[in-house]
Structure 1
Amino acid sequence: MPGASVLLLRACLALLAMPIYLLSVLGIWGPFCKKVFFPYFLEKIGTIHEGKAKKYKQELFRNLPDFSSSSGQLKLLEIGTGCGTNFQFYPPGCKVTCTDINPGFQQSLLRSMKKNQHIQYEDFLVAAGEDLHQVPSGSMDVVVCTLVLCSVRSLNDTLREVLRVLRPGGAFYFLEHVAANPASWMYFWQQVYYPTWKLIFDGCCLTRAIQKDLELASFSELKVQHMSIPLPWMPIEPHIIGYGVK
């Protein structure tokens, strides 16, 4: 349970964000957030995050071609494609299926597609990570998910869907912000920000220990690296990066 100081600071933060809470109660904030605010915010903050994470992603995605099928073709599904910031890292000729629960990203996604003509775009599916029924079982060589597992409704259901759509020997690549060390000041502030942050940023949870769920999933091999990506005034510095093999 959060301590008294956390609860007090949460209340102060909620007071400052009262207009957003009121809009949420009136049913206005949710649609506005999904269609306008969050796509705009993610595109802007994504540019900053991408600058800091680019070297890590280059290293992470370096071995993507190793998971190509016997025909040499790489079929890749991205969960929560967002603005398409990962397209630049995919190998030439890669066949990409994009999914996102929020159709509000389509305009910025189209801009990214035009910039990255080296890959083939198969489809865009409006779908949650927990329900990828439009994607056949065992049909993908690789599944990619970056800065998405913080906001899915069920992390376990999402990982089950990942394993379902992957072929045997396929790989799941991830880069996610996670809960800080519980003994740290960062974790304290993550707890303070948690309720208001989740409301404003479309369900993003600051205190998920995602690595634990990955360890419990049925991957035959799992490689996880912990790292820090500091962003100004944002309590999402601790990250994990890696991949799991089905």
Structure 2
Amino acid sequence: MTDIRTGFEVHRARGAFNAAFFSVMGPYIERNVRRHKRRVYAGLPATVVELGPGVGANLRYLRPGSTLIAIEPNVPMHRRLRAAAERRGVHLDLRDRLAERTGLPDGSADCVISSLVLCTVADPAEVLTEVRRILRPGGTFRFVEHVVARDGTPTRVLQRALRRPWAWTFEGCSCERDLAGLVRAAGFARVEIEPYRLHSPFVTFNTQVAGIASA
């Protein structure tokens, strides 16, 4: 079923599965990427825009009393996200919209964050254009994302072999995107990116980047 307001296809089985999966697996994923999130999410401002916050894994990096403008079109995530925000003492402004079309005014955001989201959007280059539009001069886009592995590596072979079932299970998630290259090409004034590798059973997911892009 496609949400006529956002154009996001809500699959009843996959939507519920992913909401449950990330609620259960969230702590495990968080342990693996915590060091990188702590670095790029340090000192977040009082109001933050997050693309695809899901069930609220990044709320822990916001101070109590902060406001999160949450761009989340996946409705099955909303109940858990609201509950997590309430537990963390974060004011939640939940927007049922796509990351490509946030509806926010030009130059209105001090900070936009994402984690494990640019892999799932229909057009990551368009999302990055939207991020630049809504950031004020000097604002930052802070991200932790999984990316394509180097050609010729066993991880790259596995990513290629599993791309279709992986994408179907995780609602369009691609394990074959050069997101570091896309961020560098998006026209930000300054980009800092750290590549790293996880060691988890989810091998296609193990090549990652964390970084900060300044408008």
* TM-score, with length taken from structure 2: 0.91
Corresponding letter in the other structure for 1:85: A
**In the alignment, which residue of structure 2 is the partner of 1:110?**
82
**Superposition map of 1:78-89 within 5 A:** 78-89=50-61
Q: Secondary structure at the match of 1:141?
A: strand
How far does the alpha carbon of each residue in 1:159-191 deviate from its partner, in whole angstroms, 9 at most, with x for none?
011011111110000000000111200000000
2:189 to 220, 225, 234: 220
1:120 and 2:88 equivalent?
A: no
**In the alignment, which residue of structure 2 is the partner of 1:32?**
13
Q: Contact 1:80–1:98 (CA<8 Å) still a contact in 2? A: yes
Distance apart, 1:92 and its partner CA: 4.2
In structure 2, list runs of 5 or more residues that go unmatched: 1-9
1:43 and 2:23 equivalent?
A: yes
Distance apart, 1:63 and its partner CA: 3.5
More helix per residue: 1
Rg bigger for which structure? 1
Q: Contact 1:230–1:236 (CA<8 Å) still a contact in 2? A: no
2:47 to 52, 75, 81: 75
Q: Secondary structure at the match of 2:48?
A: strand
Q: Secondary structure at the match of 2:99?
A: coil
How far does the alpha carbon of each residue in 1:126-179 deviate from its partner, in whole angstroms, 9 at most, with x for none?
11111112x111111000111000010001110011011111110000000000
Q: Contact 1:49–1:231 (CA<8 Å) still a contact in 2? A: no
1:146 to 86, 111, 115: 115
1:132 to 102, 105, 113: 102
Q: Distance in 2 between the 1:202 and 1:87 partners?
A: 22
Corresponding letter in the other structure for 2:167: K
In structure 1, list runs of 5 or more residues that go unmatched: 1-28, 66-73
Corresponding letter in the other structure for 1:120: H
**Superposition map of 1:12-31 within 5 A:** 30-31=11-12
Q: Percent identity?
A: 26
Q: Secondary structure at the match of 1:62?
A: coil
